[in-house]
């Protein structure tokens, strides 16, 4: 039997061949690492077969490295990998991508880069060299740096002079990637440094309370994350977080909302409640697509006030007609009287913010307000085990996908973002991503039965439940 090295190598080679064949058939080149990112050049990467081949390459290549490299080297690299997000934060805050955009593919000498941002040339050069070694930016000649396919995504498109005067402008009316980078290399990164201390704490390490998390230790606050965001001194932080939540919609095509639960099957005048819906970015997609639906966006008081200008800019007639309502509501209290029976409750990216005891409270209040026809749609990550787990419950839409040997059952590195999100949720408020079994358990405890899981081509499928 071939060695695991050979099997993994073959998976990579076969997947590359599949991508090459697709490129040839569609007369499209595969984007090069040294190119600047554009949606046009990325077109081939949206093909379903190419996406699957990329997943296999990612999983197999990472497992091949782990297999071939000396274990002591792997542990050393991982233990010191804090430096990558730290350096990425430096480059993002220093507007390096924007500076390099202005000079084009020839690049700029580090001395000329620091003339624009006032930094120390030798030190910024060392930061960029580490990022180049991870294929973020490129060094075209000694101390001369340029953007590449990855680093160009950091470019906000704003003039450097504007960003120097107003750093917060980097996160408004621009690519949502900057907001993801800002949080991942900033607040969440700092919280992660306190994770071990928190998990070993005799109280915090066993607590479901959102104010007893690694992030609360890191920033020394004694309220939950959302209450901390709303403090007056955190105005800019709250603004960036609101943009982060909006980006979770903007980065995904409308199909990821519309191709899950069949909203078109609802009768005229049906009521959809977007629970803890932020400014209502998901509801905006529904309201624009289905004029027959009535929509309520429920959120904390602060975010409801933020939602009003968002709707007035994007779909003012929906607010004016009353077809869409913005309702201040605490989801840990009983549902308000909305004037008619609710046909669908939607929870998108909400349950993962909270530990099971709190998720059960949320689901319990929704169940108490549900009528026999009410559906519950949970849009969240479903974690898969790295090892093969036999099916314990048959649910429509949940078939184990075939994974080629010797890859991990969850496709390993191709799906690590889901596990990173799980740890991130634990860090900022003792929340969690959940396995299918976890979802079934908390729904059973609150009077909901999970009937179907609909994949929408993203990592957040639609879990559809009905009252028991």
Query: How far apart are the C-alpha atoms of 254 and 125, rounded to whole Å?
Result: 41
Query: How far apart are the C-alpha atoms of 45 and 54, rounded to whole Å?
Result: 8
| Distant-in-sequence, close-in-space partners of 409: CB < 8 Å, separation ≥ 6 | 384, 385, 386, 387, 388, 389, 403
- Report the run of H or E that residue 178 belongs to, with start and end: helix 177-184
Q: Is 352 a catalytic residue?
A: yes
Cα radius of gyration (the chain): 24
Query: For residue 449, what are its two tokens?
Result: 């039965």
- Using CB atoms within 10 A of its CB, is residue 467 exposed (0-12), middle (13-18) or buried (19+)? middle
Compute the C-alpha angle 389/390/392, nearest 5°. Answer: 115
Catalytic residue among 352, 365, 388, 462: 352
Backbone angles phi, psi at 347, to 5 degrees: -125, 100
Query: How far apart are the C-alpha atoms of 174 and 156, rounded to whole Å?
Result: 6
**Listed residue (439, 433, 245, 274) closest to 345, CA to CA:** 274
Query: For residue 75, what are its two tokens?
Result: 């542990």
User: How does DSSP assign 389-407, residue by residue?
Assistant: ---SS--BT--PPP--TTS
Contacts of range 171-178, beta carbons closer than 8 Å, 24 or more positions apart: 171/239, 171/240, 171/243, 172/243, 176/243, 176/244, 176/246, 176/247, 176/250, 176/251, 177/153, 178/92, 178/154
Query: How far apart are the C-alpha atoms of 295 and 338, rounded to whole Å?
Result: 11
Contact, 191 vs 177, CB < 8 A? no
Looking at the annotation, which residues are catalytic?
A: 352
């Amino acid at each position: 039997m071939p060695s695991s090295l050979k099997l993994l190598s073959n998976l990579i080679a076969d997947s590359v061949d599949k991508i090459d064949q697709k490129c040839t058939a569609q007369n499209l080149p595969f984007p090069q690492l040294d190119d600047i990112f554009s949606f046009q050049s990325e077109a081939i990467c949206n093909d379903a077969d190419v996406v699957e081949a990329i997943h296999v390459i990612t999983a197999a290549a990472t497992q091949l490295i782990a297999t071939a490299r000396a274990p002591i080297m792997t542990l050393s690299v991982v233990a010191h990998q804090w430096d990558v997000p730290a350096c990425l934060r430096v480059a993002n805050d220093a507007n390096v991508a924007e500076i390099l955009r202005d000079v084009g593919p020839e690049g700029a000498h580090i001395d000329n880069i620091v003339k624009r941002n006032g930094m120390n040339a030798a030190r910024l050069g060392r930061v960029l060299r580490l990022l180049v070694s991870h294929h973020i930016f490129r060094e075209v000649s000694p101390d001369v740096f340029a953007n590449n396919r990855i680093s160009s995504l950091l470019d906000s498109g704003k003039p450097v002079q504007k960003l120097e005067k107003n750093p917060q402008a980097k996160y408004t009316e621009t690519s949502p990637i900057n907001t993801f980078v800002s949080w991942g290399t900033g607040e969440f990164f700092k919280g992660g440094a306190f994770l071990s201390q928190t998990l070993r704490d005799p109280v915090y390490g066993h607590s479901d309370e959102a104010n007893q998390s690694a992030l609360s230790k890191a920033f020394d606050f004694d309220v939950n994350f959302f209450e901390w965001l709303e403090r007056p001194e955190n105005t800019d932080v709250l603004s960036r977080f609101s943009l982060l939540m909006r980006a979770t919609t903007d980065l995904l095509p409308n199909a990821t909302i519309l191709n899950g639960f069949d909203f078109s099957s609802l009768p005229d005048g049906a009521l959809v409640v977007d629970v803890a819906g932020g400014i209502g970015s998901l509801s905006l997609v529904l309201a624009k697509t289905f004029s027959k639906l009535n929509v309520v966006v429920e959120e904390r008081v602060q975010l409801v006030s933020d939602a009003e200008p968002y709707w007035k800019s994007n779909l003012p007639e929906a607010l004016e007609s009353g077809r869409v309502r913005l309702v201040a509501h605490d989801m840990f209290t009983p549902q308000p009287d909305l004037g008619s029976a609710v046909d669908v409750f939607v929870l998108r990216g909400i349950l993962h913010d909270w530990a099971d005891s709190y998720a059960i409270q949320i689901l319990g209040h929704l169940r108490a307000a549900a009528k026999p026809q009410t559906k519950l749609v949970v849009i969240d990550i479903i974690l898969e085990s790295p090892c093969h787990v036999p099916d314990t419950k048959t649910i429509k839409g949940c078939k184990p996908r075939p994974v080629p040997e010797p890859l991990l059952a969850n496709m390993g590195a191709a799906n690590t973002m889901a596990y990173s999100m799980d740890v991130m949720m634990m860090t900022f408020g003792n929340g969690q991503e959940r396995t299918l079994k976890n979802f079934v358990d908390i729904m059973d405890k609150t009077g909901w039965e999970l009937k179907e899981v609909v994949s929408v081509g993203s990592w957040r499928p639609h879990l559809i439940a009905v009252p028991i």
